Amino acid sequence: MARVLALDVGSSSVRAQVWDDGEPADTAQKVRYEGADPDEIVRLVHGAIEGRERFVDAVGASCFGHSLLAVDGTGRPLTPLLGWRDTRSGAAAERLARELDPEAVHARTGCHLHTSYWPAKLRWLAEEQPDVFGAAARFVSFADYLYAQLLGREPPSSLSLASGTGLLNLATQTWDAELLEVLRLDPARLSRVSDEPLGEETPWYPAWFDGACSNIGAGCVTARRAALMVGTSGAYRTIHAPDHARPRPGLFLYRLDAQRVLEGGALSDGGNLYAWVRDTLRRASGSLADRDPGAHGLTFLTLLGGERSTGWDPFATGAIAGLTFQTTPLDLCQAALEGVAFRFAEVAELMPEVEEVVATGGALVSDHDWVQIMADALGRPVTLSGVPEASLRGAAVATLERLGVEATPASLGHVFEPRRDRADAYRSARDRQRELYGATREWRRDRT
């Protein structure tokens, strides 16, 4: 029997749970937080562990990706956490795209020159805060900082988290030489990349990218089964062998480990949009899935947090068309959730090999109306995951894999079938969102 401690450090909460051979052995400890103070998150992880690492065979962690932290020679932070939601580096991303061949960068790294990733953030930091950039001894992901604080030593960065920075060469599995040269960045200022564990009595495996853990936890580990995840943000992803010669346009391609890659698209609007709608439109109530998708007359371009897939426009913003005095809060709620579903449909079209879609993430698990809307917008069945905390379970399963233990299959729940009588209405609504997307891009170009 193998006993492991799984950690899940998300963008708004920390979870910890002990697992025995793939089954929970205790109740998950969950603590929510707000803000970008790395030391506050470290303190919460300390509290969630509560010394349980001493009674397990190994420790594994899922951690939010794309984060950047500059630290000094003593390992102390010089910046707050810079995450994927920080879009201040939009102009820096555009300048890099003029200096480099964006398609070549995407082909080598699987990542676009975009505010989500390190190249744009590092260029922005060097230009806007040169003293901080120059004083930084190292640039690390939050997971690397967390492990350094917990273990008292400099940890490696896992392949999956390093790949999510946008600085890793997929083929060599090392930091990309051209990007380092353009950014004037010595590789000694970056973490060593390795999936080898730290520690002897109780090995700690380097933290994995939470998106990969979400797929693993939900049982979406082939190119034929995609995880449609809505947490704070959203993503549509598959795991498979690196059989594609090049990353496909509009999609990301990250290394999961030496044998597998994680492919898909990401949305910046997900559970955060759901919370915004709930807080802003408090008078909205009623079932959304039962409403006619064409009745509200709205087109909601759900890019409030900016765009990632499929256009990767660093300056994109949201928009709503069709507002009248008859528009109700429930209309806006419906249009918002449909808008996210249409963005997912754009990603799904780029991955025609997918045969099965599994919905996961807190926002979907708690709102079956939204899952039904997803099925209608995608025009295909969507199966609700039976795993309540997919990233946490994924960290446990990935750790057990390293110990040679195979976990039981992930459970699945209700299947939401697309309603064929709504297909034409959803197709028309999706076309209107595409038109609004094009119009807003033209409007931004005219303004600049």
Q: What is the average pLDDT across 259-268?
A: 97
Q: pLDDT tier at 142 (50, 70, 90 boundaries)?
A: very high
The full 3-state SS of the chain, as one line of letters, equals CCEEEEEEECCCEEEEEEEECCEECCCCEEEECCCCCHHHHHHHHHHHHCCHHHHCCEEEEEECCCCEEEECCCCCECCCCECCCCCCCHHHHHHHHHHCCHHHHHHHHCCCCCCCCHHHHHHHHHHHCHHHHHHCCEEECHHHHHHHHHHCCCCCECHHHHHCCCCEECCCCEECHHHHHHHCCCHHHECCECCCCECCCCCECCCEEHHHHHHHHHCCCECCEEEEEECCCEEEEEEECCCCCCCCCCCEEEECCCCCEEEEEEECCCHHHHHHHHHHCCCCCCCCCCCCCCCCCCEEECCCCCCCCCCCCCCCCCEEECCCCCCCHHHHHHHHHHHHHHHHHHHHHCCCCCCEEEEECHHHHCCHHHHHHHHHHHCCCEEEECCCCHHHHHHHHHHHHHCCCCCCCCCEEEEECCCHHHHHHHHHHHHHHHHHHHHHHHHHHHHC
Given a cut of 80, is residue 96 above it in pLDDT? yes
In this model, does residue 211 exceed pLDDT 70?
A: yes
Q: Band the pLDDT of 448: cuts 50, 70, 90.
A: low
Question: Which position has the token pair 């201040």?
Answer: 88
User: Letter for the amino acid at 111?
Assistant: C
Going by pLDDT thresholds of 50, 70 and 90, the confidence category of residue 244 is low
pLDDT tier at 249, thresholds 50, 70, 90: very high
Query: pLDDT higher for 243 or 271?
Result: 271
Average of per-residue pLDDT across 126-151: 97
Q: Which CATH superfamily is domain 3-210 in?
A: ATPase, nucleotide binding domain (3.30.420.40)
Average pLDDT rounded to a whole number, residues 61-72 = 97
Domain 3-210 shares a fold with domain 219-447? yes
Helix H, strand E, coil C: the string for 63-125 is: ECCCCEEEECCCCCECCCCECCCCCCCHHHHHHHHHHCCHHHHHHHHCCCCCCCCHHHHHHHH
Res 370: pLDDT: 96
Angle (CA) 436-361-428 rounded to 5° is: 25
**Average pLDDT for residues 303-319, to the nearest whole number?**
95
Sequence length of the chain is 448
HSE, CB side, 13 Å, CA atoms: give it for residue 74: 3
Three-state secondary structure of 321-337: ECCCCCCCHHHHHHHHH
The domain ranges of the chain are: 3-210, 219-447
Q: What is the pLDDT of residues 337-384, one digit of tens each?
A: 999 999 999 999 999 999 999 999 999 999 999 999 999 999 999 999
Q: According to the model, what pLDDT value does residue 61 have?
A: 97
Q: Residue 293 has what pLDDT?
A: 77
Q: How confident is the model at residue 246 (pLDDT cuts 50, 70, 90)?
A: confident
Using pLDDT thresholds of 50, 70 and 90, give the confidence band for residue 27.
confident
Those residues whose C-beta lies under 8 Å from the C-beta of residue 324, and which sit 6 or more positions away, are 297
Q: Of 206-215, 271-280, 388-397, which range is least confident? A: 271-280
319: pLDDT confidence band, cut at 50, 70 and 90? very high
Q: Residue 229 above 90 pLDDT?
A: yes
CATH topology of domain 219-447: Nucleotidyltransferase; domain 5 (3.30.420)
Question: What mean pLDDT value characterizes the chain?
Answer: 93
Specify the pLDDT at position 283: 59
The pLDDT assigned to 284 comes to 62
Percent with pLDDT over 70 in the chain: 98
User: Most confidently modeled of 9-13, 342-346, 406-410, 419-423?
Assistant: 342-346
Q: Reply yes or no on whether the pLDDT at 245 is more than 80.
A: no
Task: Point out the least confidently predicted range of 99-103, 314-318, 338-342.
Answer: 314-318
Q: How far is CA 154 from the centre of its chain?
A: 25
